[in-house]
Amino acid sequence: MTVGNLASAADTVEADRQRDWREALAAMALVGPATALIVVFLIGPLVCIALLSLTDYQLGAKALRFVGLANYAEMFGDRVFRRSLENTLTYVGVVVPLSVFLGLGAALLIEASASLRGFYRTIFFLPVMATLIAMAVVWEFVLHPQFGMLNLALNAIGMTGQDWLHDRKIVLFTFCGIGVWQSLGFNMVLFMAGLTSIPRDLYEAAEVDGAGQAWNRFWTVTWPLLGPVTLFVVVISAIRSFQVFDAIQVLTKGGPNRASEVLLYTMYSEGFEYFRSGYAAAVTMVFLAFVLALALFKTWFLDRRVHYG
């Protein structure tokens, strides 16, 4: 190889290196702002909360002391925390399956209806657009034990009304009903988007192959192709259910006797009523652990069992 060829090859390598460097700088410039926002508004506060959970800091105090895992030891030995965790898991376990299946059922019924489809979409989606705090005040009147609409309707058909918000045996399930009412419309819209993306010719092919009944077409075509949407709806519904707070704060403040207290309300009361910021941060970390577990469960387990067409 001549000296000229060697120089030309060296120039080519140098040009490639400079081009790669420019592309790397361009990529860093493009992702830099988003990365900075993630660090400032997500990772940074998360690290601060994790560090705060290892201290005895109280809101307004001028000093703090490192206590290690003492807050976590106190938390898991605290009857109030265990009750709020149990209430949260019960709420999620009731609201998620009911809101998912009822949302799917509403989407199927509305898509099958040729008339008033837009009207029904609007009616079911209204709870999603409404401010939950304002709607909680409305629910307070609906569930009033003396003149509430629900008890009046039950009395009209010969049934006995209940004290829905002050009976510790049913108050949590009352909030479950409100949660299903709130989530149903959102899930319905997501399922309707999934239904409209399914090609019509697949239903025709299934009917030719012998799936003449609507039930058979649902199991052979609709349900498998709704897998990605269903996975998304389940995970989002679970995360939204873990975040329940507004209605409980307005209607019962965790009562009676903490029968409706959930994790977010425990975080709020410990941090802003009792000013135990370190302990509230520890509760926050447990809450985030549940949300992270849901995300990992979706990624590692459910995604592998979903058919992406």
pLDDT tens-digit series, residues 65-76: 999 999 999 999
Assess whether 98 and 21 both reside in one domain. no
**Number of domains composing the chain:** 2
Assess whether 43 and 79 both reside in one domain. no
pLDDT 10s digits, 17-56: 888 788 888 888 888 888 899 889 889 999 999 999 999 9
Classify residue 57: in a domain, yes or no: no
Assess whether 12 and 100 both reside in one domain. no
Assess whether 131 and 38 both reside in one domain. no
Which amino acid is present at 80? V
Classify residue 226: in a domain, yes or no: yes
Classify residue 262: in a domain, yes or no: yes
CA–CA gap between residue 224 and residue 159 (Å, rounded)? 42
Assess whether 36 and 89 both reside in one domain. no
pLDDT tier at 5, thresholds 50, 70, 90: low
**Owning domain of residue 86:** 72-305
Classify residue 232: in a domain, yes or no: yes
Assess whether 130 and 31 both reside in one domain. no
Write down the H helix ranges in 66-199: 70-76, 79-112, 117-129, 132-142, 149-156, 171-196
Assess whether 152 and 222 both reside in one domain. yes
The pTM score is 0.86
Assess whether 215 and 276 both reside in one domain. yes
Among 2-6, 80-84, 113-117, 159-163, the least confident range: 2-6
Assess whether 240 and 200 both reside in one domain. yes
Assess whether 87 and 26 both reside in one domain. no
